[in-house]
Each structure stands twice: as structure tokens, then as C-alpha cells.
Amino acid sequence: MIIKPFDIANIDIAAAILDKMWKKDIFKGIEHSFELSREVVLNLFYDPQLALQACDDDGKMQALAFARMKNHVNTTDKWVEDFLADKNDDERKKVHEAIAYILRTESEMLNLMSDDSAKFSFLVSYKRGYAKALQEHLMQLLIDRGVRWTYHITDSTCSWQYFHRHGFERVHEELVERFSTEDQPYYCYFYRKPIFNA
């Protein structure tokens, strides 16, 4: 496994990962979901020094992890409007609903965070064990910046059990009707964990 800074040239690979994760709920019914996923990943990319990728020895990307400090800001309003400029009314409505959810959960989490906290804005893995190694590497970078707490947003369609198994505390749980179906309720979860420089 090779861990290195995320290369922005790999944005389409990162977008494909997000699109696969969110297409069935958050981006459901959005025709240009890959294009939107690409914009969202760019919006989650706050600091090149806190964005990592893990690759196999042959260079194939298997996992990504991005983090942000509480005081980092983004340009969400601008990129959403740019993305929607040529979309029809139905797609504009669906995108606004999805983005409103993302922004609301982000705001709620930021309200919980102290100044010595950081949020993992993007953490995904195709290969077992890679996410954990990437997360540990990124946590060391955060410790070096004086971070004491890390926060994560996940949902009931992801491997949320990982957080329970690794000592995270669930600090928020919400049923999100917009993404729920009769067969599968959709829950949003916030987790946090203290990190200490050993």
C-alpha cells in the first residue's frame, strides 16, 4: 500500500466512488449525478495537505480520505449555481434538495465541533484495511496541527458499524424521510472520537 497526497488529476476516480455511494439515495433521480459528484468532491477538497489517497503497489487508487478544520470555508453557492445553469427545472429541484441536505448536516456538525476539532469530509475505500491505514495517517497530520477531536458523518447505507467497533461515540442520529423508502429507512449519523499524540 502506498499512501500519498491526493492528486487532483484523479478527481474523476474520486467522483465515481462518491457517485456509486450516493446514487441510490442522496442523488437518486438526478440525471447528471456523476457530474454533480465531481463538483461535490471538489467542494470537499478543502486543504491539499489534508487530502490523501491510498494505492496498490501498481498505483491503482483504492481509498481516499479528506479532512477539514472547523474554520475552513468553501464556495458551495457558486459551484451549485454554475452546475445548475443548463439543467431543467425538475433536475434543479432535485439537486437543490440534495445540496440542502448536505449543507444542513454540515452546518449541524460544525455547530457541535470545538476549535480544536477536524471533520473527515470524505473517507471511502474499495479495499479492506486501506481506509483504516489512511485514516490513521491523516489523524497524525491532524495531531500535528493540534487537533484533539475528529468528527465523521455517515449514514445507514454505509458501514457505520465501523465507528462503533473503533471507539467512536455517536453524537447525532436522524431519520431522513427524503431518502427513506418503505423497505429501507435512511438514517444520518454523526460520530466523534478524541485523538491524542502518543
For position 26, which CATH number holds?
Answer: 3.40.630.30
> pLDDT category, 198, cuts 50, 70, 90?
very low
Residue 43 inside a domain? The answer is yes
Residue 192 inside a domain? The answer is no
Residue 39 inside a domain? The answer is yes
Residue 178 inside a domain? The answer is no
Average pLDDT of the chain is: 81
Q: pLDDT tens digits, residue range 117-158?
A: 898 877 777 788 888 888 888 888 998 888 999 898 888 877
Residue 36 inside a domain? The answer is yes
Q: In Å, what is the CA distance from 125 to each residue of 36, 145, 162?
A: 20, 25, 12
Whole-angstrom Cα distance, residue 110 to residue 119?
A: 8
Range with lowest mean pLDDT among 19-23, 49-53, 65-69, 152-156 = 19-23
Q: Which domain holds residue 141?
A: 2-148
Q: How many domains does the chain have?
A: 1
| Cβ atoms of 74 and 66 closer than 8 Å | no
